[in-house]
Chains A and B, each alone.
Chain A
Amino acid sequence: MSNELLNEVTFFVLSIFVGIEVISKVPTILHTPLMSGTNAIHGIILVGAIVIAAGASSPVTIILGLVAVTLATTNVVGGFVVTDRMLEMFKGRKAQKQTTPTK
């Protein structure tokens, strides 16, 4: 096993534990926004798409690169924006406290 691969495997295994640990206490109401947020994070594939698109020269690689960059950008931008829209809905509740008739 090369040094680089060994490093990569190390990162991979540690990331599994971090990924599980970091969201283990999420309340039900945040399941949807959290799913949507992680959805945006895997848009990091845009980095990969840019790497393969950068050196494109043949028609095949040009088409592959173009489609991959387009899809990945849609994932990133759409993912973060839609998550933000969901979470935006939660913010009103503090301001609301004063205006609601209490009894």
Chain B
Amino acid sequence: MRTAISLAYLVAAVLFIVGLKQLSSPKGARNGNFIAAAGMVIALVATLPLLNFTTAGVIIIAIGIVIGTAVGAVGARTVKMTAIPQMVALFNGVGGGAAALVAVAELLRLGQHPAFTEAFPSVFSIVIGSISFAGSMIAFAKLQELMTGTPITYPGQQVVNGILAAAILGFVIAVLAVASVPFSFIALMVLALVLGVAFVLPIGGADMPVVISLLNAFTGLAVAASGFTLNNFALIVAGTLVGASGSLLTKLMSDAMGRSLANVLFGAFGKSHAGAAAVAGQEGRSVRSGSAEDIGTLLAYSQRVIIVPGYGLAVAQAQHAARELAELLERRGVEVSYAIHPVAGRMPGHMNVLLAEANVPYEQLKEMDEINDEFKNADVALIVGANDVVNPSARNAPGSPIYGMPILNADQAKNIVFMKRSMRPGFAGIDNDLMYDPKTVMFFGDAKDSLTKLVSAVKAAA
């Protein structure tokens, strides 16, 4: 029986690896997800035969699976596409919480003086799992706008976090070297939860995807550690795979924003510092705002239009209106493409998902490197609810918090139409010089309403 179970775990591990491989290519991605899910089912079923179930055990497993399935499936099915990033944060957090609880239960079972090789992974799992749980909940709250998305900082923050970390280390040593008593590991859990909150608070909402990815890797490691405690190969292999690929993915994501991971985590990004102060002096500059008719005519008589979608488009659910406008323009012979910044929206790939949902042809979606040279030949850059990703201060204001981030060259287009709800700065909280550019026409309003107005205006333009 043991052999059969080990073989089943091996099959599951292979399916996870194949699934991950497929998930990283556009063609096989959806299949990859199914393959990984199949691996999960095999691992779960294989676990059952060797267990000695108590009646209470059977009941709580059944109840837990029913509730978890209902919450997971309904949550994942009903969530709006715009809210997907926070949903991922939530699912990640509960996984971390589960890993921490499994470790607590193991420590309780092992008694006061467990072997180091079992106690160490358990406390590791408690600490990392709890940080991941609490951090993910804060990430969720920030993205869901239950709390402010701007970084929360206070004097002595680093000191407080340092003390928390030191206290955690103290309790880890207490559990390992002195005695493994409930008080110690409950305290460990509470401290790690507080550290998880304290760790994510000073990070701005725009950086949440990177944070979620990092916490995702954390959960993977916590799961792997639980695997060491339970001597379970499926947990070790799957958890480590996620820990390793998640770490790399985190790095790739921060690279896409042109920043180092350390800068994302500890830079208190978007907090007004020197760069923002310099820009503040320029408040009160005038902007030009246009009517739907003016802009409609401009678009209708253009040769090439590049649409730059951003989070504003996502919030307003304006992807269908954008496609309608694009199709209308194409019928008039205007060449339309979409410029997708790697971090447009709130997650890499977010815009592609939304536009694909609206049936925008894949060929029209151009990645940044591909389209940046085409802006200078474009008659109009139509910016729909994007801001930071076209902010020239990333290029020319060394003091700016986004300095160094690669941006779309929307400013090189012959005309710029900037569609925005208001003059409010973007998610990173910094002013955008592009709005004051003489080539720029502002068009205020909800992205969907505005696009609909433009559709009528283009139709009216003979």
Residues of chain A touching chain B, judged by Cβ–Cβ distance below 8 Å, are: 2, 4-5, 8, 11-12, 15-20, 22-57, 60-62, 64-93, 96-97, 100-101, 103
Contacts and interface: CB of A to CB of B under 8 A. Distances in A.
Contacts of B240: 11-12, 15-16, 19
B377 interface: no
B67 A75 contact: no
> Which DSSP category, helix, strand, loop or mixed, fits chain A's interface?
helix
Nearest to A77: B72
A101 to B, nearest CB: 6
B153 interface: no
A14 to B, nearest CB: 9
A71 B99 CA distance: 9
A72 B230 CA distance: 16
Identify the interface centre among A42, A45, A50, A75: most chain B CB within 10 Å of its CB: A42
Nearest to A25: B24
Interface string B427-462: 000000000000000000000000000000000000
B32 interface: yes
A55 B60 CA distance: 10
Contacts of B242: 19, 38-39, 41-42
Given A43-B40, A92-B359, A28 B102 contact: no
A29 B95 contact: no
Contacts of A29: 26, 340, 348-349, 352, 367
Interface string B238-253: 1111111111110011
A81 B237 contact: no
B462 to A, nearest CB: 20
B19 A69 contact: no
B286 interface: no
Given A44-B40, A49-B101, A34 B361 contact: no
Given A38-B216, A70-B67, A90 B223 contact: no
> Which DSSP category, helix, strand, loop or mixed, fits chain B's interface?
helix
Interface string B333-351: 1000000101000011110
Contacts of A15: 224, 236-237, 240-241, 244
Contacts of B36: 37, 40-41, 80
A39 B236 CA distance: 15
Nearest to A18: B17
Given A49-B101, A52-B102, A73 B67 contact: yes
A77 B57 contact: no
Contacts, number: 399
B256 interface: yes
Contacts of B71: 70, 74, 78
A32 B53 CA distance: 39
A68 to B, nearest CB: 4
A93 B29 CA distance: 14
A81 to B, nearest CB: 4
Given A75-B92, A86-B353, A90-B30, A49 B57 contact: no
B213 interface: yes
Interface string B204-223: 00000100110010011011
Given A20-B248, A30-B349, A54-B57, 7 more contacts: A12-B236, A18-B244, A39-B92, A49-B101, A69-B65, A79-B91, A85-B81
B37 A80 contact: yes
Contact of A45 (B37, B51, B235): B235
A75 B348 contact: no
B174 interface: no
B69 A77 contact: yes
A43 B95 contact: yes
A82 B349 contact: no
A5 B101 CA distance: 22
